[in-house]
Each structure stands twice: as structure tokens, then as C-alpha cells.
Structure 1
Amino acid sequence: MKAEGRTFIVSGGSSGLGAATVQDLLAQNAYVSILDRSPPSKDLESAHVKYFPVDIREVGQIEDAVEKTVAWTKETKAPLGGVVNCAGVGIAGKIIDAHNEPHSLDLWDFAIAVNLTGSFNLTRLALKHIVKGEPESGPDGERGVVIFVASAAAYEGQPGQTAYAASKGGLVSMTLPMARDLARHGVRVVTIAPGVFDSSMTANFSPKTRKSLENEGIIYPRRFGQPYEFARTVRWILETPYINGETIRLSGAGRLPGKL
């Protein structure tokens, strides 16, 4: 799919991997609807950008933002081309804590609501419009692309990541069946599972934790991933029609260690 002249909804687009994705889409002359709790920085201000304040846990707010995005596409003549689900939270809590108390149910619900249910709700509400769009010219007749953002923790979650890993693993598990559901509409579904990236989630890592991950968890390049590398992966997915129903690990061949 050509990003130019199309509109993409990016949740969590105001910072981190989402902001890098927005910047790269703008470089391709796309239009971007940012759904986030916080407004984007000034370097993302553009006639090609609309920001909608959204708590991804609130389905009413998501629906309102999607409807307003669709109205905007009618003004710009840039049809809705896809969704990039970057909104997410990182949480930690052992199933039985140091005081032998069970994992907080509120914390579990929060992780599932943001990382899994929020992505599902935004995607299903956007798809209502994407499947009605005119297909691209050519033999594939593509109408759109859905991208989910999972995590290496979906495969090898560390201690304290039971809820987080479950929320990200759910995204991996629904990628193929959703791709199969949407095949008749010409819509692809792909998930990216990043390893350790420089982002707001990792900014507070201690030097010891960071060094441990670089030395033990990452093979090559032995460093944290950079947001532009994530954004370039999104671009590759959009431009490569045969990528569908897959989860792509973006990890420098790294695997999260069992213990830091």
C-alpha cells in the first residue's frame, strides 16, 4: 500500500514509537490521525495531522475520534488506509508478591484494557470504514493495513510480567485469525513484536538493568532499538503486500533473559 495520499490512525502517536511512526508517515506525504491522552509535540504539527485526545480504555472516546477522522478524510480526499496501534502501557507485578499477596486484579484489568482491548476496539471501529473504501488499483485490490504492537514479552516474559505478557500475547494470537477474517475485504493484519527499544517505557531503567539487557539479552547490534527502526518496519509492512497474518520480531536477535 502506498502511504501517500492516505490517512492512518496512530494510537499513542504523541511520543515514542508512535511519534516516530507519525514522522515517517508524514515523510511519505500521508495524513495522520493521532489518538493519545497527551498532545503531540510541536515538531508533529502539520496540516496533515489531526490530534484527538483519547483514553484508549474508553470506547466512546475511540468511536468519536474515528468518526471525526473519517469526516476529516472527506475534507482532505485522503481515504482511510490503516491503523497502527502503538498505545500501550508497561506494568509489573508478580503473581504472588513478596508479602504472599496475590497479583492485583486492578493492575491485570488495566494492562488488558489498554494493551489488548484498546487495540481491539480501535481496530474494529476503524475497520467499519476501511472495508468500505475503494481498493487500490492493481491485482491485489488492497483496502487497508492493520498493525498491532506486541512485545518480546509475548514470548519470554520476565518475572513480574504475567499480566503484561498476557496482554501482548493476545495481540499475537489474534493476528492470523483477524487476517483470515479480513482477506475478503483486501485488508492485511501484521503485528510487530519489539525487543528492548529506547522509549518512555525504558527511559527509567537503571544503568545496571540497561547494561544487563545489552550484555545478556541482545545479540547484535548490542544496543537498544531506536524508534526510527520501528517506523521503518511499519513502512516496510505497508509497502509489502505479501506480509500478512504474521508477527515480526524486531529485537537484534535478542531474547529477554529469565532474570536480570
Structure 2
Amino acid sequence: MNITGAVALVAGGGGGFGAATARRLHAAGASVVICDLDAVKGKAVVEDLGERAVFVETDVTDEASVQAAIDAAEKLGSLRITVIAHGGPGGGRTLNRENEPIAQDDFMRVVNIFLGASYNLIRMTAASMAKTEPLETGERGVIINTASIAAFDGTIGQAAYSAAKGGIVGMTLPIARDLSPIGVRVMTIAPGTFLTPAFGDADPVKLDAYWGAAVPFPKRMGRPEEYAQLALQICENPYLNGETIRLDGALRFTPKGA
């Protein structure tokens, strides 16, 4: 896909993977809709990008909120790219230290924010892409999900998170098949340990030393820019479809993490 002139909707575009990808796509010539609940961070990214960028405060679990973001994208042109990279809670252990079960609502909240919201964004942005004119190749668009290597080797306390991310991996191929008649590709990136705002105000140097030690090579945490680089490559390569790509430096989680 030729990125120049395309419109990209980036969920979670206010920081981390989303902000890095929005910048990369914008630099390649796309117009970008930054979707995030954090208006301060989202607007800061738009201010940094300048022209061809707008912010829409978006609750990715809410249909009306997602539709408002899509409407904003369609005003800019043909929506061709969706990147789903929003954050959320991690859940907890199945039983606590007193052997009491985790609240079912806590489990379902994690699954809804990651898995349910991802599907919500996929189905709604795919409908927008279906209305566009196909490119010369027959392609109308590409949707990029974000899973995690926890989908394959989740650690202690990650049952809900791993279930949600595993669901994203599991639905990638069938949705790619669902959308193949309209020329929309579906891919998923499964990152390992990345230096993102999810770690809060922790010292980046100490984080890199702690988490990076377990990565075979390179012995450091990933950078959001490396996620963005892969996302751009997925957009540009029309034969990537229906697959999950691990982006983890060959890291495999142990029961207690990296």
C-alpha cells in the first residue's frame, strides 16, 4: 500500500506504540486520527504532527465513540489503515493470598477492554474501508492489532490479560478471511517487553537493565519506534495477511516474567 494520501486511525495514539506509529505513518504521508481517552496526551501528539493530524477523544469499548472517530477519519479522506494499540488493566491472580477468587468482573473488564474493544474497532473500521474505492491492487485497507507474547507464555497473574491477547491472536486469521472479499488485510503484532508509558515513572535505565537481561538479543527492552517500523512495513507489504508476528528479541516469558 502506498501510504501517501491514506488516512490512518490509531487507537491509543496518545502514547507508546500508538504515538510512535502515528508519527511514522504521518511521516510517510498519511493523514492520522489520534484516538485516546487521554486528551492531554492525544492533543500533544497532534500538535507535534501539525497538518494532517486530528485528535478525537475515544472510548474504544463504546460504539458511538468509535463511530465519531471514524467520522473524523472519513472527513480527511479514505480510511485505509487502522492500528489498534490502546492500553488497559492487567488483571490479577486467579486466587489471592487468602485463596479467595478474583472477581469475575475484574476478569471480564480486562477481556472487554483488550479483546472486545479490538473487535469493535475492527468491525467498525472495516465497514468504513468497505465503502472506499479499491486501489489498483484491489486492496482497500489494512488493520493491525496488538497482542502480546503473553498470549503464548503468560506469567503469573496474567490469566485475564493472556486470555484477551490470546483471543486477538486467535481471531486474526478468521477475520482476515472474513474481510478478504473486500480487500482488507488483518495482521497482529505480539510485542515482548517494551519501554512504554505502561511502566509509569520508573527509571528507564533500571527498567532496561532488569527486563532487558532476559532478552536473548538485543539485550534490552524494545522501543515503540521498532513497533512502529514493523507496523509501517505491514502496511506497505500487501502479502502480509492473517498472521501474528512476535516482536520480542526471542524472549520467552517464564512463570514469573522475563
**Superposed pair shares fold, TM > 0.5:** yes
Secondary structure at the aligned position of 1:35 is classed as strand
State how far apart, in whole Å, the 1-side matches of 2:149 and 2:166 are.
9
Match of 1:141 in 2: 138
State how far apart, in whole Å, the 2-side matches of 1:194 and 1:43 are.
22
Match of 1:7 in 2: 7
Match of 2:211 in 1: 213
Percent identity among equivalent residues? 38
Secondary structure at the aligned position of 1:201 is classed as helix
8 Å Cα contact 2:33/2:72 also seen in 1 = no
Tell me, yes or no, if structure 1 residue 38 matches structure 2 residue 38. Answer: yes
Alignment deviations for residues 150-201 of structure 1 (CA, whole Å, 9 cap, x no partner): 0010000000000000010110000000111111111100000000000111
State how far apart, in whole Å, the 2-side matches of 1:99 and 1:208 are.
32
Match of 2:153 in 1: 156
Change (3 A) 1:209 1:97: farther
Flag structure 2 segments of 5+ consecutive residues without an equivalent.
none
State how far apart, in whole Å, the 2-side matches of 1:111 and 1:255 are.
22
Secondary structure at the aligned position of 1:180 is classed as helix
Tell me, yes or no, if structure 1 residue 103 matches structure 2 residue 102. Answer: yes
Q: How many residues align?
A: 252
Change (3 A) 1:80 1:16: same
Secondary structure at the aligned position of 1:193 is classed as strand
Structure 1 residue runs of 4 or more that deviate by more than 4 Å after TM superposition: 204-212
TM-score with structure 1 length normalisation? 0.91
Match of 1:61 among 61, 65, 90: 65
Q: State the Cα distance separating 1:210 from its structure 2 match.
A: 5.7
8 Å Cα contact 1:90/1:201 also seen in 2 = no
8 Å Cα contact 2:20/2:228 also seen in 1 = yes
- Aligned CA RMSD, in angstroms, stands at 1.7
8 Å Cα contact 2:91/2:110 also seen in 1 = no
8 Å Cα contact 1:23/1:44 also seen in 2 = no
Q: State the Cα distance separating 1:242 from its structure 2 match.
A: 0.8
Flag structure 1 segments of 5+ consecutive residues without an equivalent.
none
- Equivalent residue letter for 1:25: L
Q: State the Cα distance separating 1:43 from its structure 2 match.
A: 4.8
TM-score with structure 2 length normalisation? 0.92
Change (3 A) 1:16 1:209: closer
Change (3 A) 1:157 1:208: farther
Which stretch has the larger CA shift, 1-10 or 61-70?
61-70
State how far apart, in whole Å, the 2-side matches of 1:10 and 1:182 are.
19
